[in-house]
Amino acid sequence: MDRIKTKNGIQDIILTALFVLLIVAVPLVLLIMPDRTFSASERRYLAERPSLREQNITEWNFDDAFEEYVTDQMPLRDLFVGVNALFIRGTGRQVSTDIFADNEGYLVEAPVSYDTEETERRIKKIAALGEKTGLIPEIIAVPSAGYARAEKLPAYLSCLYSDGEVFDTIASCEGVNVIDLEKTFLEEGSDWYYRTDHHWNREGAYTAYVRWCEQTGREAASMESFLTHRVSGFSGSTRSRSALWLTPKETLYLYEPQCHVTVSFSDDNSVYDSLLFLGHIGEYDWYPAFIDGNHPLTVIKNLDGDKEDVLIMVKDSFGNTLVPWLVPSFGTVIMIDPRYYRGNVSDVCTQYGATELMFCYSVERIANDTNLLLVK
């Protein structure tokens, strides 16, 4: 038989009440509130309530599925995740194995390991394409933010970045024209990257454009000669991956050349008249505001440009913010993303009468992306 004693200190009653309130409030909220289907901050669909009827007794995973469901549907989930991120950061650890926060609060991707031979294989593929098309491929490899901002990270972390090896490998390869960003980005020490996203920012992409102009004998247009839209409240990929919500959101500068353009995509029948797709602002990912994000093949016609000048740009998402600077120099720019495009790049070069061939990639992808091995 239980005996219930009630003569107790107020402290015990308060703690008991508070604890019971906490553990009862959560299931009540779960019961009352409708389930959320998508988490914008995590950019993924949340788990749905598992059904007992679909369970097989010998391959039982109801317990795991249910835990995933309640964890995903936990009230104030983002707050909890953020508190945990702060706690981990506050106790000296990096929030995750793939995002580091540097001294200035920039969230940069953790280093990736590279294999010299693998990098060489990819550059040789690029050079071979050059030989086939009769064009010398220009390579713009963007250093990772952690490598370029090395001095902002503690030495025990910055020493882990080996982008330098990739740059050395690329430089040692023949048959390509390297637009060197390594020195510029490391030495000029400006902010080339977003604080909350792994991509380079307007200044980063513009600097690459200036270097490209210098090396190809062109005169760079001024940044001011482009139309710029300023949008505040940008929260990029590294911020959502780290859940360090106290990292302030930042300003996104969207720019486009003052020339008449048409844009069309291989996987979409419409023709657009702007490089910017401002409809993406306000969505969970704003980066596709540039050129509508990644498409297999994008055709940009500069109606004011010289029809003879045709650029084929093979790229990952870093190319999307470089392309607005390049468009005024060409009549046509074709962007190809080998992650989605399965045709021959050389055929595209022939079809459009390419006069220049460029590869714009992050160091990580130029060294590791297997799709680059399929480029021909």
Own/partner contacts of 128-134, CB < 8 Å, gap of 24 or more, are 128/175, 128/376, 129/345, 129/346, 129/357, 129/375, 129/376, 130/175, 130/176, 130/357, 131/175, 132/346, 132/376, 133/345, 133/346, 133/349, 133/350, 133/354, 133/357
Site membership for other proteins, residue 74 (CB under 8 A): yes
Site membership for other proteins, residue 15 (CB under 8 A): yes
Site membership for other proteins, residue 62 (CB under 8 A): yes
Site membership for other proteins, residue 340 (CB under 8 A): no
Sign of CA dihedral 233, 236, 240, 244: negative
Site membership for other proteins, residue 45 (CB under 8 A): no
174 close to 182: Cβ distance less than 8 angstroms:
no
Site membership for other proteins, residue 80 (CB under 8 A): yes
* Pattern 269-308, other proteins, x by CB under 8 A: ----------------------------------------
- Using the rule CB under 8 A, which residue among 46, 47, 81, 231 binds other proteins? 81
In terms of DSSP bridges, do strands 356-362 and 138-142 run parallel, antiparallel, or are they unpaired?
parallel
Contact set for other proteins, span 176-215 (CB under 8 A): none
Alpha carbon of 359 to those of 142, 178, 184, 295: distances in Å? 11, 10, 18, 16
Other C-beta atoms closer than 10 Å to the C-beta of 223 total 15
Residue 113 or 269 with smaller CB distance to other proteins: 113
Residue 113 or 232 with smaller CB distance to other proteins: 113
Question: For residue 307, what are its two tokens?
Answer: 């029809």
Residue 17 or 259 with smaller CB distance to other proteins: 17
- Using the rule CB under 8 A, which residue among 36, 43, 93, 121 binds other proteins? 93
In terms of DSSP bridges, do strands 297-302 and 332-336 run parallel, antiparallel, or are they unpaired?
antiparallel
User: Cβ of residue 40: shortest distance to other proteins, in angstroms?
Assistant: 17
User: What does the binding site for other proteins look like in residue numbers (CB under 8 A)?
Assistant: 1-6, 8-9, 11-16, 18-20, 22-24, 26-27, 30, 57-58, 60, 62-63, 66-68, 70-71, 74, 77, 80-81, 83-85, 87, 91-94, 154, 156-157, 159-160, 243
